[in-house]
Structure 1
Amino acid sequence: MTTQTHTLTCRCKFKFEITVFCEEGNIEDEGYSCFNCGKEHSFRASMPIQGKDVQILEEGIRRQPEDLDPCEVYRVLREKGADSLHHANTALTSYTFIKEKKLLSRKYVVDHGLQQTSQYTDKSDDKFGIFDDIFMDAVDIHLQAGNRNQYGPILFKFPLELLNTYPLVFVRVTRQNPSDWSVGQTVEKRYYMSIHDFEKGYALGNFSSMLIFPYINGELDLMGNLKELVIDSPKLQWGVSEMALEQEFLDAIKVKKSIGEPSKTKLRLRKCNEKTCGCTKAYRDNDVIARKMFGIEKYK
């Protein structure tokens, strides 16, 4: 039996420490009330997260076979050469994130009546139980592929240390893109099932392998966590206007006031060389895609 002390953060932002008793390798579910607002919560404690600040969960959870320790995932990614976490999205969806000051799951946006670009995988993501999760990549796909990121031209870049510092209970790592999952497929085919499995089988730069953050209620704070916001800058025109699409996005978000102190979050326009990257041609040759990726007209 091991004694653990954890710092818990309530929805009212009040922090308090609790002590739990946990046998190594086991999970203990405990109920606690916030000392400030009195709200009751369930808390899940286990050996892998000893000593970390952990967010209180609205409902008790039990570790699933595909759940990995974030600290160990950090270690493996660092050893393989990763230094950042990345989330790419469209201008419309990204604008919602910045207005809300949070990275949000697809389900969260739907449930709260917010704006986001349509995505064909929504039904399958809901069916596979990942509709309320946050997705990350361990590499900058645009940079690695030498072409536009299929998920969008706006890249939210976080330090890899987010895995150690943010109140993540567990992390999951997919073997393949969830859009390629099939009904009846085993969980072992979808996810790395252990740190050893992940360490042995994961290759940095495999775009199909994604990090999934479950159990965080579909929201991840940008303030204090976002390292850099990278915006594709292909210099496209919006209809008959000579204003570049990316500039319209920039003007709309008023970046410095929306994502925190400029000294903490860097803003960068990605200006690619057409000889080495195909993004500009890809946007220029397909007006429908360009408008879908950069359009924020729903907010006007």
Structure 2
Amino acid sequence: MTTGNPGRRSNEPASARGQRLDDFETERKRLVRLAYRMLGSIADAEDVVQDAWLRWSRVEGGIDQPAAYLTRIVTRLCLDRLKSARAQRETYIGPWLPDPLIEAVEAEETIADDLTVTLMLAMERLSPLERAAFLLHVVFDVTLTEVAATLGREPPAVRQLAARARKHIQAARPRYNVEAAEAERISRAFFAASREGDTRVLSTLLASEVEIHADGGGKVLAFRNVVRGMDRALRLFAGLRRKGRFSPILLRTATIDGLPGYVSIDRGGLLQTTALEIIEGRIAKIYIVRNPDKLAHLQTMREE
């Protein structure tokens, strides 16, 4: 991200400019993470943080609490963007999924939290203010007083927003932890079985009420509707194999927004990510991102 010095007064001491930049760089990774969790888009998150830098670089005088000030700027910019983002998602072709954040690839760019793909989708059902209150207060541990100042609401109102959001999110929160070795085993087994259309093995891996969400954004081939139930899932994978439409190459297993999964390339050279929600040893939900716009930040993985 560019962090130049647009529009600063020439008479501002170099030390002050340097301190301003240092303050911003100290917070930048956290700000990108916050914006991504608000918007579900890595590109939009980076744009928001760039806009925040432009505003920060023009602030006159010193700021006692740079972290709080920058958090406020980023949150308000995200709230503005959410208005248009929600309108766009109403006309989105097929299921919408957040951009996949690969922790193994971006370990230095993010700090792990427990917001999985499933929980990010649950946040989509919150109002923008509920989403902001939940993320700031519950996930990022910002005080209610500061959240209230950021959102322009009284603390009791913010407390209610956060409580309502927490209730919705808690219902979607995974109740089972999966050991890393088990997650790796299931991910690889699912990749191999789905690639071969092996319904016998798949029936031992999938939960009876499994769901398959595939995001192609109308730009590439993907399931237009959520596929629900083991029977339909088995028929789908068997049919894809029979028609010769499914022969991906595994690039690597990975943690994708807190869930185990993998990155692969299909026979047409299209990159895709697959995240798996595993409950009691069975795959309950499968999240596939194929929309090229959401995978641009992962293109270098082809060369690894």
Q: TM-score, normalised by structure 1?
A: 0.28
| Greater helix fraction, Structure 1 or Structure 2 | 2
Q: TM-score, normalised by structure 2?
A: 0.27
| Greater strand fraction, Structure 1 or Structure 2 | 1
Mark the structure with the bigger radius of gyration.
Answer: 2
